[in-house]
Amino acid sequence: MPASEAEGAQPSPSSPLIGVLALQGGFQAHERVLARLGARVREVRVAEDLADVHGLVIPGGESTTMMLGVQRERLSEPLRGLAQAGLPVLGSCAGLIMLDRDHLGLMDMRASRNAFGRQVRSFEADLHVAGLGDAPLRGIFIRAPWIAEHGPEVEILATIEGHAVAARQGQLLAVAFHTELGEDDRVHREFLEWARSFASGAGGRRSLSAGARSRRAPVTAPKAP
């Protein structure tokens, strides 16, 4: 890993506590970025691990296997409850698939798996992600999905060749690419802002996109411990 790993901000007791679903897939890469940005990180394998987290990351990997793990550990219901209570959730690649209607059902969208083709269609592309500034974000796509269909509460934040590859629904954020593998950590930084806001009890609306329209009723987030 780059030297920057060693330069990470020291987490303090007031740093947001981010759970990273660690049943399968590339959870460690997310942990490194989060730790470098000063978050406290906890691997989530069973429901008890979700206690008091201020945000949850669902990593890339293999969504079928990950979903089997979620079912085995009976994590679906606790995850739904926390999402409804306003917990920020970031899903990347397989994590985006996990958020869709056919999996955890947290976001009103349907992901198309391996949509760019299988292995051969692993590629990098510069994306404009709404709300993350003008500079393009380098997206790393590995057997990536795209969002084939979505309801009105889902706001598309980035497209590639007309296909939706980043979206939010309230405090739920889904990206089809591996933001944890590149140098550009703007997605994680923004997510940590949401987690901080959740931790401080602000809850409700967050500002990733200037044009974001959340149709959800504001939620009152629980106070940080």
Q: Which residues bind ligand GLN (CB under 6 A)?
A: 60-63, 93-94, 97, 113-114, 142-143
What separation in angstroms does the CA of 122 have from each of 7, 32, 89, 127, 157? 30, 22, 25, 15, 21
Considering beta carbons, is residue 139 or 203 the nearer one to ligand GLN? Answer: 139
**Active-site annotation holds for 48:** no
Q: Which two tokens stand for residue 34?
A: 């989060």
Q: How far is the CB of 92 from ligand GLN (least distance, A)?
A: 7
The nearest distance, CB 191 to ligand GLN, in angstroms, is 17
Which one is catalytic: 30, 54, 93, 150? 93
Specify the residue, 17 or 137, whose C-beta has the smaller distance to ligand GLN: 137
Shortest CB 26 distance to ligand GLN, Å: 7
Q: One of 30, 178, 188, 190 is an active-site residue; which one?
A: 178
CB nearer to ligand GLN: give 23 or 93. Answer: 93
Is 124 catalytic? The answer is no
Q: Is 93 an annotated catalytic residue?
A: yes
Active-site residue numbers? 93, 178, 180
